[in-house]
Amino acid sequence: MTSDSCFEGIKSSGELKPLSSPKGNLRRFPFSEGIIEKNFEYFDGRYIVGAITSDFSDWKEYGLWDELTKPQNFCELFGLDKRIILSFDINESVPAYVREHAHFSPKIFMDTLGVSDLIDRFDCGGMRHVTHREKEAFKKQLEKYFASVTPLNSYKGNFRVPEIWVGAPIPLRDISKVTEIEMGIVASQ
């Protein structure tokens, strides 16, 4: 998912570039020490992060679609409200891995703790708004999420909410579908 202005940049450069760092995402949590060391080979470099899905139904079931498409989250990341979903195939020679995002989702926190806003509370308020029990459950699920790393060429399709990390640019010619989301409406082009 990207913004319309970022998509214009992709078209201008002729490729979708890997920009995300798993280290950056992990460092925002104060108790994440050791997680990088356990899976070091998957934390080095920049990645394109996406979903292995055609309809996002599992992302919706686990509450991750709502997290991803919240206007405030999207605007903070990309600066605009319009969202564009890019679809492309990945060549097996491209360095990529898959993670089970169900381990770290609003649904898992609702099922285990009875709260679905735990990720928001960590992002917005830090430790002040989280109980010790919630912190321990959060850390356990975060560790499961990062430990689920599977190289793409070994992935068997067995994750409920597969999240893919691609460590190479995707040429514009390989982007096969563009879908726009605006004001909660999905329109394929």
Return the pLDDT at 99.
92
Q: Divide the 189 residues of the chain into consecutive groups of 10 and give the mean pLDDT of each group.
A: 82 92 68 65 79 89 83 53 82 89 90 77 62 83 88 93 94 83 47
Return the pLDDT at 170.
94
Return the pLDDT at 160.
95
Domain coordinates in residue numbering, the chain: 2-188
Tokens standing for 184? 């909660």
Neighbours of 100 (CB within 10 A): 20
Four-residue CA torsion sign, 117, 123, 127, 133: positive
Return the pLDDT at 28.
64
- Residue 73: closest CA among 25, 128, 123, 125: 123
Return the pLDDT at 103.
93
In the chain, DSSP finds a helix count (H) and a strand count (E) of 9, 10
Q: Are the CB atoms for 59 and 53 separated by under 8 Å?
A: yes
pTM value > 0.85: no
Return the pLDDT at 184.
45
